Structure 1
């Protein structure tokens, strides 16, 4: 995989510009529908020049994924390394993730294309981004119950998927509801509303005891 190093004066290198263009196009069109010619046109270079930086489309896609996965995995890694895993810490992590997806909706859009039409490295995406959230921590590591009754009923994976869908589908579907919302779904006000909903639902899950 190509290692992209930023220039000293913060001017994007050609490789970085290629990655930026490819990320936008893969998010808009998916892996299969995006050609190296599309990427080259977006960057403003000739197609053969791409091979000086990435050996083929799959290598470029893998580099785009790696950059996104590293960035979006950071909050989860930090939470796992925390000396005390609590419900409050999980809420803070979720707040960070929602803000990340609002700031850069490309990962959610890219994954939606991968789920519907496929693409290389899909298993790697699932393993790195979602697998850790399917594992329940030891009771001693967590203050109180983790997903409460849902964990005891074996529903934690479904709860994780539900919250993931709630967060990621917002950035892929919310633009369709722009007129109904009466505001830009990516505005600061809309972000706060989304955060309020996600927090309210997760607190309800924590509090649920099956009665």
Structure 2
């Protein structure tokens, strides 16, 4: 790991375009560590988290493919805060360990940690040099998620309601990219400008 690495926390509400911004950083040479992708890997068929998940929630937590049934567990977690807390208690330490391992192996001048619930967790700020929030209108979030995932408006709104508010995310940010009506080139330009501003 380079001692002068800039550690950037990237977050935003569902449908904000955070993953697209993450890809822009990656194209500039930053190491991208996607915590949601790590969670998916841990809960895929044969994933390291599955024994603890089955022990906590029973075999019905798994789908026919042997992976965690994400839709079912998402519904249970939204309905019962206790389920959410137990699941996070299993996954978060494992994600943290893997995040640290990947970060230690990086030789890049910047590491971008893509963390969907960065603001909500309260655990990340001390590990970061900068926080970048991708923001857009709630109506835009709803439209994007419905188009890409086929969710109902009610399902999208349920997720938005569980996340930090736009104001809370913006208050935690060192920089905000408003991803509203931007072309991909314009979005890339904003990331490049910010990278230069941060000395990268």
TM-score (norm: length of structure 1): 0.34
Q: Of the two structures, which has the highest relative contact order with CA contacts closer than 8 Å and spacing of 6 or more?
A: 2
Looking at secondary structure, tell me which structure has more strand per residue.
Answer: 2
Of structures 1 and 2, the larger Rg is shown by: 1
Looking at secondary structure, tell me which structure has more helix per residue.
Answer: 1
